[in-house]
Protein backbone atom coordinates (compact mmCIF):
# COMPACT_ATOMS: atom_id res chain seq x y z
CA UNK A 1 0.00 0.00 0.00
CA UNK A 2 1.36 3.44 -0.91
CA UNK A 3 0.35 6.94 -1.96
CA UNK A 4 1.65 9.22 -4.69
CA UNK A 5 1.83 12.94 -3.96
CA UNK A 6 1.71 15.61 -6.68
CA UNK A 7 -0.75 17.39 -8.97
CA UNK A 8 -3.32 14.72 -9.77
CA UNK A 9 -5.39 14.84 -12.95
CA UNK A 10 -8.05 12.37 -14.15
CA UNK A 11 -11.33 12.22 -16.03
CA UNK A 12 -14.60 11.54 -14.33
CA UNK A 13 -16.54 11.82 -17.59
CA UNK A 14 -15.91 13.14 -21.10
CA UNK A 15 -16.76 16.64 -19.91
CA UNK A 16 -15.31 16.53 -16.44
CA UNK A 17 -11.58 16.72 -15.82
CA UNK A 18 -10.73 16.50 -12.11
CA UNK A 19 -7.61 18.26 -10.86
CA UNK A 20 -6.30 17.94 -7.33
CA UNK A 21 -3.29 20.16 -6.79
CA UNK A 22 -0.82 18.87 -4.19
CA UNK A 23 -3.06 15.85 -3.69
CA UNK A 24 -2.61 12.21 -2.78
CA UNK A 25 -3.75 9.16 -4.73
CA UNK A 26 -3.71 5.93 -2.77
CA UNK A 27 -2.95 2.45 -4.10
CA UNK A 28 -3.88 -0.72 -2.24
CA UNK A 29 -3.29 -4.14 -3.85
CA UNK A 30 -3.09 -2.53 -7.28
CA UNK A 31 -6.38 -0.67 -6.89
CA UNK A 32 -6.93 3.07 -6.42
CA UNK A 33 -8.47 4.02 -3.08
CA UNK A 34 -9.27 7.50 -4.34
CA UNK A 35 -7.78 10.99 -4.44
CA UNK A 36 -7.44 13.20 -1.33
CA UNK A 37 -6.26 16.67 -0.27
CA UNK A 38 -4.61 15.20 2.82
CA UNK A 39 -3.94 11.59 3.77
CA UNK A 40 -6.98 10.12 5.56
CA UNK A 41 -6.43 8.88 9.12
CA UNK A 42 -6.35 5.15 8.23
CA UNK A 43 -3.55 5.78 5.69
CA UNK A 44 -1.39 7.98 7.96
CA UNK A 45 1.45 5.45 8.14
CA UNK A 46 1.70 4.31 4.52
CA UNK A 47 4.68 5.08 2.28
CA UNK A 48 4.27 8.33 0.36
CA UNK A 49 6.20 8.82 -2.88
CA UNK A 50 6.47 12.55 -3.16
CA UNK A 51 6.61 13.74 -6.77
CA UNK A 52 6.51 17.39 -5.72
CA UNK A 53 5.46 19.77 -8.50
CA UNK A 54 5.04 17.02 -11.10
CA UNK A 55 1.80 15.96 -12.78
CA UNK A 56 0.26 12.54 -12.06
CA UNK A 57 -2.21 11.16 -14.59
CA UNK A 58 -3.78 7.73 -15.22
CA UNK A 59 -1.79 5.59 -17.69
CA UNK A 60 -2.78 6.07 -21.32
CA UNK A 61 -4.62 3.38 -23.27
CA UNK A 62 -3.72 2.55 -26.87
CA UNK A 63 -6.83 0.81 -28.16
CA UNK A 64 -5.31 -0.16 -31.53
CA UNK A 65 -1.68 -0.79 -32.44
CA UNK A 66 0.17 -3.23 -34.73
CA UNK A 67 3.40 -4.35 -32.98
CA UNK A 68 5.07 -5.78 -36.12
CA UNK A 69 4.52 -2.50 -37.94
CA UNK A 70 6.62 -0.49 -35.47
CA UNK A 71 9.64 -1.36 -37.62
CA UNK A 72 8.45 0.55 -40.69
CA UNK A 73 6.73 3.51 -39.06
CA UNK A 74 7.33 6.69 -41.00
CA UNK A 75 7.84 4.77 -44.25
CA UNK A 76 5.43 4.19 -47.12
CA UNK A 77 3.17 7.09 -46.28
CA UNK A 78 2.49 7.76 -49.96
CA UNK A 79 -0.41 5.36 -50.43
CA UNK A 80 -3.96 4.59 -49.46
CA UNK A 81 -4.89 1.58 -47.34
CA UNK A 82 -5.17 -1.30 -49.83
CA UNK A 83 -2.01 -0.49 -51.80
CA UNK A 84 -0.17 0.25 -48.54
CA UNK A 85 -1.13 -3.18 -47.17
CA UNK A 86 0.09 -4.96 -50.31
CA UNK A 87 3.27 -2.99 -50.88
CA UNK A 88 4.52 -2.29 -47.37
CA UNK A 89 2.58 -4.06 -44.64
CA UNK A 90 2.26 -7.63 -45.86
CA UNK A 91 5.92 -7.94 -46.94
CA UNK A 92 7.04 -6.60 -43.53
CA UNK A 93 4.68 -8.81 -41.51
CA UNK A 94 5.88 -11.88 -43.46
CA UNK A 95 9.34 -11.40 -41.91
CA UNK A 96 7.96 -12.39 -38.47
CA UNK A 97 8.00 -16.02 -39.58
CA UNK A 98 11.70 -15.82 -38.69
CA UNK A 99 12.00 -15.76 -34.91
CA UNK A 100 15.37 -14.02 -34.91
CA UNK A 101 13.86 -11.12 -36.88
CA UNK A 102 10.72 -11.13 -34.71
CA UNK A 103 12.77 -11.04 -31.51
CA UNK A 104 14.91 -8.14 -32.66
CA UNK A 105 11.95 -6.10 -33.91
CA UNK A 106 9.58 -6.86 -31.01
CA UNK A 107 12.29 -6.01 -28.45
CA UNK A 108 12.61 -2.57 -30.03
CA UNK A 109 8.83 -2.07 -29.97
CA UNK A 110 8.47 -3.18 -26.35
CA UNK A 111 11.41 -1.03 -25.22
CA UNK A 112 9.86 2.07 -26.79
CA UNK A 113 6.47 1.20 -25.29
CA UNK A 114 8.08 0.94 -21.84
CA UNK A 115 9.24 4.55 -22.02
CA UNK A 116 5.96 5.86 -23.46
CA UNK A 117 2.98 7.03 -21.37
CA UNK A 118 1.02 3.93 -22.44
CA UNK A 119 0.09 1.44 -19.73
CA UNK A 120 -2.51 -0.66 -21.60
CA UNK A 121 -2.78 -1.64 -25.24
CA UNK A 122 -4.82 -3.70 -27.69
CA UNK A 123 -2.20 -5.16 -29.97
CA UNK A 124 -2.21 -6.94 -33.34
CA UNK A 125 0.72 -9.31 -33.83
CA UNK A 126 0.99 -11.28 -37.11
CA UNK A 127 -0.49 -14.63 -38.14
CA UNK A 128 2.66 -16.38 -36.84
CA UNK A 129 1.91 -18.14 -33.57
CA UNK A 130 5.51 -18.57 -32.40
CA UNK A 131 6.35 -14.90 -32.93
CA UNK A 132 3.12 -13.95 -31.15
CA UNK A 133 4.18 -15.91 -28.05
CA UNK A 134 7.50 -14.11 -28.23
CA UNK A 135 5.79 -10.70 -28.23
CA UNK A 136 3.57 -11.80 -25.34
CA UNK A 137 6.62 -13.00 -23.37
CA UNK A 138 8.32 -9.60 -23.78
CA UNK A 139 5.21 -7.64 -22.76
CA UNK A 140 4.58 -9.90 -19.78
CA UNK A 141 8.15 -9.48 -18.61
CA UNK A 142 7.90 -5.69 -18.93
CA UNK A 143 4.72 -5.65 -16.80
CA UNK A 144 2.54 -4.20 -19.56
CA UNK A 145 -1.16 -5.04 -19.41
CA UNK A 146 -2.17 -5.89 -22.93
CA UNK A 147 -4.50 -7.83 -25.16
CA UNK A 148 -2.46 -9.42 -27.92
CA UNK A 149 -3.95 -10.97 -31.05
CA UNK A 150 -2.48 -13.62 -33.28
CA UNK A 151 -3.89 -12.33 -36.58
CA UNK A 152 -6.16 -14.54 -38.66
CA UNK A 153 -6.25 -14.04 -42.45
CA UNK A 154 -6.90 -16.59 -45.19
CA UNK A 155 -7.95 -14.83 -48.40
CA UNK A 156 -7.09 -11.86 -50.63
CA UNK A 157 -3.59 -11.80 -49.23
CA UNK A 158 -0.29 -12.98 -50.71
CA UNK A 159 0.70 -16.67 -50.55
CA UNK A 160 3.58 -15.78 -48.26
CA UNK A 161 1.20 -14.31 -45.62
CA UNK A 162 -1.89 -16.46 -45.60
CA UNK A 163 -3.38 -19.28 -43.54
CA UNK A 164 -4.24 -21.70 -46.30
CA UNK A 165 -6.12 -24.32 -44.30
CA UNK A 166 -9.04 -22.92 -42.29
CA UNK A 167 -9.47 -25.85 -39.91
CA UNK A 168 -5.74 -25.84 -39.17
CA UNK A 169 -5.87 -22.06 -38.59
CA UNK A 170 -8.75 -22.44 -36.13
CA UNK A 171 -7.08 -25.36 -34.36
CA UNK A 172 -3.85 -23.42 -33.98
CA UNK A 173 -5.65 -20.29 -32.80
CA UNK A 174 -7.57 -22.31 -30.18
CA UNK A 175 -4.39 -23.92 -28.94
CA UNK A 176 -2.68 -20.50 -28.73
CA UNK A 177 -5.66 -19.10 -26.77
CA UNK A 178 -5.63 -22.04 -24.31
CA UNK A 179 -1.87 -21.86 -23.75
CA UNK A 180 -1.81 -18.06 -23.41
CA UNK A 181 -4.54 -17.99 -20.79
CA UNK A 182 -2.55 -20.47 -18.71
CA UNK A 183 0.87 -18.93 -19.31
CA UNK A 184 0.43 -15.20 -18.75
CA UNK A 185 -0.71 -12.94 -15.91
CA UNK A 186 -0.55 -9.47 -17.51
CA UNK A 187 -1.15 -10.36 -21.13
CA UNK A 188 -4.34 -11.87 -22.53
CA UNK A 189 -5.23 -13.21 -25.96
CA UNK A 190 -7.76 -11.40 -28.13
CA UNK A 191 -9.52 -12.83 -31.18
CA UNK A 192 -8.19 -10.97 -34.22
CA UNK A 193 -9.67 -11.43 -37.70
CA UNK A 194 -7.62 -8.90 -39.74
CA UNK A 195 -10.67 -7.45 -41.56
CA UNK A 196 -13.53 -8.79 -43.70
CA UNK A 197 -11.60 -8.73 -47.03
CA UNK A 198 -8.88 -11.05 -45.69
CA UNK A 199 -11.13 -13.50 -43.78
CA UNK A 200 -13.33 -16.15 -45.43
CA UNK A 201 -16.79 -16.87 -44.05
CA UNK A 202 -15.59 -20.22 -42.80
CA UNK A 203 -12.71 -18.61 -40.88
CA UNK A 204 -15.07 -16.01 -39.39
CA UNK A 205 -17.46 -18.76 -38.33
CA UNK A 206 -14.67 -20.57 -36.49
CA UNK A 207 -13.54 -17.38 -34.76
CA UNK A 208 -17.08 -16.48 -33.73
CA UNK A 209 -17.47 -19.97 -32.26
CA UNK A 210 -14.17 -19.51 -30.40
CA UNK A 211 -15.41 -16.22 -28.95
CA UNK A 212 -18.65 -17.91 -27.91
CA UNK A 213 -16.74 -20.69 -26.14
CA UNK A 214 -14.18 -18.47 -24.41
CA UNK A 215 -15.92 -15.09 -23.94
CA UNK A 216 -12.66 -13.45 -25.02
CA UNK A 217 -12.66 -9.99 -26.58
CA UNK A 218 -12.22 -9.43 -30.32
CA UNK A 219 -10.61 -6.69 -32.41
CA UNK A 220 -10.67 -5.78 -36.08
CA UNK A 221 -10.94 -2.91 -38.60
CA UNK A 222 -14.15 -1.20 -39.76
CA UNK A 223 -15.12 1.38 -42.41
CA UNK A 224 -11.63 2.84 -42.77
CA UNK A 225 -11.30 3.65 -46.47
CA UNK A 226 -13.76 4.15 -49.38
CA UNK A 227 -12.22 1.45 -51.65
CA UNK A 228 -12.14 -1.00 -48.74
CA UNK A 229 -15.81 -0.36 -47.95
CA UNK A 230 -16.81 -0.85 -51.60
CA UNK A 231 -14.85 -4.11 -51.65
CA UNK A 232 -16.66 -5.36 -48.53
CA UNK A 233 -19.98 -4.59 -50.22
CA UNK A 234 -18.91 -6.73 -53.19
CA UNK A 235 -17.67 -9.55 -50.97
CA UNK A 236 -20.76 -9.51 -48.75
CA UNK A 237 -23.71 -8.55 -51.00
CA UNK A 238 -26.13 -9.77 -48.31
CA UNK A 239 -24.93 -7.14 -45.81
CA UNK A 240 -26.54 -3.74 -45.35
CA UNK A 241 -23.29 -2.16 -44.12
CA UNK A 242 -19.72 -3.17 -43.20
CA UNK A 243 -20.67 -3.58 -39.54
CA UNK A 244 -23.57 -5.80 -40.59
CA UNK A 245 -21.07 -8.06 -42.41
CA UNK A 246 -19.28 -8.63 -39.06
CA UNK A 247 -22.63 -8.95 -37.28
CA UNK A 248 -23.89 -11.65 -39.65
CA UNK A 249 -20.66 -13.56 -39.05
CA UNK A 250 -21.13 -13.36 -35.27
CA UNK A 251 -18.21 -11.02 -34.64
CA UNK A 252 -19.78 -7.69 -33.78
CA UNK A 253 -20.11 -7.83 -30.02
CA UNK A 254 -22.45 -10.83 -29.92
CA UNK A 255 -20.26 -13.09 -27.77
CA UNK A 256 -17.80 -10.70 -26.11
CA UNK A 257 -16.30 -7.24 -25.96
CA UNK A 258 -15.33 -6.04 -29.41
CA UNK A 259 -13.26 -3.09 -30.60
CA UNK A 260 -13.25 -1.82 -34.17
CA UNK A 261 -10.52 0.50 -35.42
CA UNK A 262 -11.22 3.59 -37.55
CA UNK A 263 -15.02 3.86 -38.19
CA UNK A 264 -14.36 6.82 -40.48
CA UNK A 265 -17.38 6.24 -42.73
CA UNK A 266 -19.85 4.48 -40.42
CA UNK A 267 -23.43 4.95 -41.62
CA UNK A 268 -26.33 5.75 -39.32
CA UNK A 269 -27.24 2.06 -39.35
CA UNK A 270 -23.69 1.04 -38.48
CA UNK A 271 -23.53 3.56 -35.62
CA UNK A 272 -26.82 2.25 -34.23
CA UNK A 273 -25.55 -1.33 -34.44
CA UNK A 274 -22.32 -0.39 -32.61
CA UNK A 275 -24.37 1.27 -29.91
CA UNK A 276 -26.79 -1.64 -29.55
CA UNK A 277 -23.99 -4.21 -29.46
CA UNK A 278 -21.67 -2.17 -27.21
CA UNK A 279 -18.92 -2.21 -29.85
CA UNK A 280 -15.97 0.07 -29.03
CA UNK A 281 -14.55 2.54 -31.53
CA UNK A 282 -10.75 2.89 -31.66
CA UNK A 283 -10.31 6.36 -33.15
CA UNK A 284 -6.95 6.51 -34.98
CA UNK A 285 -6.60 10.09 -36.26
CA UNK A 286 -2.94 9.98 -37.27
CA UNK A 287 -3.33 6.82 -39.34
CA UNK A 288 -6.50 8.19 -40.94
CA UNK A 289 -4.48 11.24 -42.00
CA UNK A 290 -1.35 9.40 -43.18
CA UNK A 291 -3.28 6.91 -45.33
CA UNK A 292 -5.66 9.65 -46.56
CA UNK A 293 -8.50 7.60 -45.10
CA UNK A 294 -10.51 10.58 -43.85
CA UNK A 295 -11.66 12.15 -40.60
CA UNK A 296 -13.74 10.00 -38.27
CA UNK A 297 -16.66 11.78 -36.56
CA UNK A 298 -15.31 11.26 -33.03
CA UNK A 299 -17.34 14.16 -31.61
CA UNK A 300 -20.53 12.58 -32.92
CA UNK A 301 -19.60 9.21 -31.39
CA UNK A 302 -19.00 10.88 -28.01
CA UNK A 303 -22.29 12.76 -28.19
CA UNK A 304 -24.12 9.57 -29.10
CA UNK A 305 -22.54 7.86 -26.06
CA UNK A 306 -20.69 5.23 -28.06
CA UNK A 307 -17.81 3.53 -26.32
CA UNK A 308 -14.70 5.17 -27.73
CA UNK A 309 -10.95 5.32 -27.15
CA UNK A 310 -7.88 6.34 -29.13
CA UNK A 311 -5.36 4.25 -31.06
CA UNK A 312 -1.96 4.97 -32.58
CA UNK A 313 -2.48 2.29 -35.28
CA UNK A 314 1.25 1.98 -35.90
CA UNK A 315 2.35 1.99 -38.69
CA UNK A 316 -0.61 3.71 -40.34
CA UNK A 317 0.15 6.13 -37.53
CA UNK A 318 3.85 6.96 -37.23
CA UNK A 319 4.01 7.96 -33.54
CA UNK A 320 3.74 5.57 -30.58
CA UNK A 321 2.73 8.46 -28.30
CA UNK A 322 -0.82 8.48 -27.04
CA UNK A 323 -0.41 12.17 -26.18
CA UNK A 324 0.21 12.72 -29.87
CA UNK A 325 -2.98 10.72 -30.61
CA UNK A 326 -4.92 13.14 -28.36
CA UNK A 327 -3.45 16.19 -30.13
CA UNK A 328 -4.14 14.65 -33.55
CA UNK A 329 -7.73 13.85 -32.54
CA UNK A 330 -8.27 17.50 -31.60
CA UNK A 331 -6.57 18.82 -34.74
CA UNK A 332 -8.48 16.68 -37.24
CA UNK A 333 -11.75 17.43 -35.43
CA UNK A 334 -11.12 21.11 -36.18
CA UNK A 335 -10.68 20.36 -39.87
CA UNK A 336 -13.84 18.26 -39.89
CA UNK A 337 -15.77 21.08 -38.22
CA UNK A 338 -14.40 23.76 -40.56
CA UNK A 339 -14.49 21.79 -43.81
CA UNK A 340 -17.16 19.10 -43.49
CA UNK A 341 -19.74 19.76 -40.82
CA UNK A 342 -20.13 22.97 -38.84
CA UNK A 343 -22.45 21.13 -36.40
CA UNK A 344 -19.65 18.87 -35.21
CA UNK A 345 -17.67 21.23 -33.01
CA UNK A 346 -13.99 20.49 -32.33
CA UNK A 347 -13.01 18.07 -29.56
CA UNK A 348 -11.96 19.67 -26.30
CA UNK A 349 -8.89 18.83 -24.23
CA UNK A 350 -11.26 17.18 -21.74
CA UNK A 351 -12.75 14.94 -24.44
CA UNK A 352 -9.39 13.96 -25.95
CA UNK A 353 -7.94 13.18 -22.50
CA UNK A 354 -11.05 11.16 -21.63
CA UNK A 355 -10.77 9.07 -24.81
CA UNK A 356 -7.07 8.40 -24.19
CA UNK A 357 -7.64 7.30 -20.58
CA UNK A 358 -11.06 6.32 -19.21
CA UNK A 359 -12.81 5.92 -22.59
CA UNK A 360 -10.37 3.35 -23.97
CA UNK A 361 -9.64 2.04 -20.45
CA UNK A 362 -13.19 0.72 -20.12
CA UNK A 363 -12.28 -2.00 -22.62
CA UNK A 364 -9.95 -3.37 -19.90
CA UNK A 365 -12.46 -3.07 -17.04
CA UNK A 366 -12.15 -0.39 -14.35
CA UNK A 367 -9.15 1.28 -15.95
CA UNK A 368 -8.16 4.82 -16.92
CA UNK A 369 -9.12 6.87 -13.86
CA UNK A 370 -8.08 7.40 -10.22
CA UNK A 371 -11.62 7.10 -8.87
CA UNK A 372 -11.88 4.58 -6.04
CA UNK A 373 -11.94 1.01 -7.35
CA UNK A 374 -10.00 1.66 -10.54
CA UNK A 375 -6.87 -0.35 -11.31
CA UNK A 376 -3.85 1.71 -10.40
CA UNK A 377 -2.15 2.72 -13.64
CA UNK A 378 -0.32 6.04 -13.25
CA UNK A 379 2.16 8.15 -15.18
CA UNK A 380 4.23 10.86 -13.50
CA UNK A 381 5.12 13.71 -15.86
CA UNK A 382 8.06 16.06 -15.42
CA UNK A 383 7.52 19.16 -17.55
CA UNK A 384 10.41 21.26 -16.24
CA UNK A 385 12.07 21.12 -19.69
CA UNK A 386 9.15 23.07 -21.18
CA UNK A 387 10.14 26.56 -20.30
CA UNK A 388 7.56 29.29 -19.76
CA UNK A 389 8.21 32.75 -18.35
CA UNK A 390 5.11 32.60 -16.16
CA UNK A 391 3.65 30.04 -13.82
CA UNK A 392 0.99 27.96 -15.58
CA UNK A 393 -2.12 26.30 -14.20
CA UNK A 394 -2.09 22.52 -13.87
CA UNK A 395 -4.65 22.26 -16.67
CA UNK A 396 -2.43 24.34 -18.98
CA UNK A 397 0.55 22.18 -18.08
CA UNK A 398 -1.46 19.09 -19.05
CA UNK A 399 -2.45 20.73 -22.34
CA UNK A 400 1.21 21.36 -23.10
CA UNK A 401 2.10 17.76 -22.30
CA UNK A 402 -0.52 16.65 -24.84
CA UNK A 403 1.05 18.80 -27.55
CA UNK A 404 4.74 18.89 -26.61
CA UNK A 405 5.76 15.89 -24.54
CA UNK A 406 8.11 13.08 -25.52
CA UNK A 407 9.58 10.16 -23.58
CA UNK A 408 11.92 12.48 -21.66
CA UNK A 409 8.88 13.86 -19.83
CA UNK A 410 7.85 10.42 -18.51
CA UNK A 411 9.28 10.47 -14.99
CA UNK A 412 7.67 7.32 -13.57
CA UNK A 413 5.08 4.77 -14.61
CA UNK A 414 2.93 2.37 -12.59
CA UNK A 415 0.84 -0.45 -14.03
CA UNK A 416 -1.72 -2.16 -11.77
CA UNK A 417 0.21 -0.82 -8.77
CA UNK A 418 3.69 -1.93 -9.94
CA UNK A 419 6.33 0.68 -10.67
CA UNK A 420 7.88 -0.24 -14.02
CA UNK A 421 9.78 2.95 -14.93
Q: Which residues bind ligand GUN (CB under 6 A)?
A: 66, 81, 85, 89, 194-195, 221, 224, 287, 313, 316
In the complex, minimum distance from the CB of residue 332 to ligand GUN, in angstroms, rounded to a whole number: 15
Q: Quick one: 153 or 415, whose CB is closer to ligand GUN? A: 153
**Least Cβ distance, residue 233 to ligand GUN (angstroms):** 16
Q: Which does 378 bind (CB under 5 to 8 A by kind): ligand GUN, Fe ion, none?
A: none
| Distance, CA of 191 to CA of 156 (rounded, Å) | 20
User: From ligand GUN, Fe ion, none, which one binds at residue 81 (CB under 5 to 8 Å depending on kind)?
Assistant: ligand GUN
Q: How far is the CB of 317 from Fe ion (least distance, A)?
A: 9
Closest CA to 282 of 72, 123, 140: 123
Q: Which does 286 bind (CB under 5 to 8 A by kind): Fe ion, ligand GUN, none?
A: none
Residues 123, 67: contact at Cβ < 8 Å?
yes
* Closest CB to Fe ion: residue number: 313
121/261 with CB nearer Fe ion: 261
Find the helix or strand (DSSP H, E) in which 207 lies. Answer: helix 201-214
Instruction: Tell me, residue by residue from 261 to 280, as one string, x for binding to Fe ion by CB under 5 A and - for no binding.
Output: x-------------------
What is the CB neighbour count within 10 angstroms for residue 313? 30
Mask 290-329, x = binds Fe ion (CB under 5 A)?
Answer: -----------------------x----------------
Least CB distance from residue 65 to Fe ion, whole Å? Answer: 8
Three-state secondary-structure class, residue 6: strand
Tell me which of Fe ion, ligand GUN, none is bound by residue 195, counting a contact when its beta carbon lies within the kind-specific cut-off of 5 to 8 angstroms: ligand GUN
Q: According to CB under 5 A, which residues from 337 to 356 bind Fe ion?
A: none
Interface segment toward Fe ion; rule CB under 5 A; list 113-121, 188-196, 256-264, 382-390: 256-264
- Gap between the Cα atoms of 294 and 283, Å rounded: 12
Determine the Cα angle at 152 with ends 250 and 160, to 5°: 150
CB of 153 to ligand GUN, least distance (A): 8
| Residues numbered 117-136 forming contacts with Fe ion, rule: CB under 5 A | none
Sign for the CA dihedral angle at 403, 326, 104, 162 comes to negative
CB of 368 to Fe ion, least distance (A): 21
Comparing every residue's Cβ against ligand GUN, the nearest one is 316
Nearest CB to Fe ion, comparing residues 65 and 102: 65
DSSP codes of every residue in 90-157: HHHHHGGGSHHHHHHHHHHHHHHHHTSSEEEEEEE--S-HHHHHHHHHHHHHHT-EEEEE-EE--SSS
CB of 228 to ligand GUN, least distance (A): 7
Q: Which does 194 bind (CB under 5 to 8 A by kind): ligand GUN, Fe ion, none?
A: ligand GUN
Task: State the Cα–Cα distance between residues 311 and 236, nearest whole angstrom.
Answer: 27
Cβ atoms of 133 and 142 closer than 8 Å: no
Q: What's the closest the beta carbon of residue 82 comes to ligand GUN, in angstroms?
A: 9
Q: Which of ligand GUN, Fe ion, none does residue 415 bind (CB under 5 to 8 Å by kind)?
A: none
**CB count in 10 Å sphere of residue 408:** 9
Which of 325, 300, 299 has its CA nearest to residue 310? Answer: 325
**CB-wise, 138 or 261, nearer to Fe ion?**
261
Distance set, CA 161 to CA 136, 190, 246 (Å) = 21, 20, 22
* In contact, 65 and 146? CB cutoff 8 Å: no
Q: Please state the separation of Cα 409 from the chain's center in Å.
A: 21
Count interface residues toward Fe ion (CB under 5 A): 2
Helices (H), 143-200: 166-183
Residues of the shown chain interacting with Fe ion in the complex, contacts defined by CB under 5 A: 261, 313
Amino acid sequence: MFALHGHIIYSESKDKLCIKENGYVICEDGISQGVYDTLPEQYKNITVKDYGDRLIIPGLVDLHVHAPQYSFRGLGMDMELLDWLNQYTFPEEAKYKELTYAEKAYKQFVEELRHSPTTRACIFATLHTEATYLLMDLLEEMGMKAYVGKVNMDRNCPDYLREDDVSEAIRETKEWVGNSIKKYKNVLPIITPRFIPSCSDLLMKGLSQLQKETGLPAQSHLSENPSEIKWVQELCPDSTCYGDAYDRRGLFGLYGKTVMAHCVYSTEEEIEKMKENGVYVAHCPQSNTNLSSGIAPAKKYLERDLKIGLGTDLAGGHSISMFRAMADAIQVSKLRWRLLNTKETPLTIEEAFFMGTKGGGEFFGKVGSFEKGYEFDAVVLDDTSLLHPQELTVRSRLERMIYLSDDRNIYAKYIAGCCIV
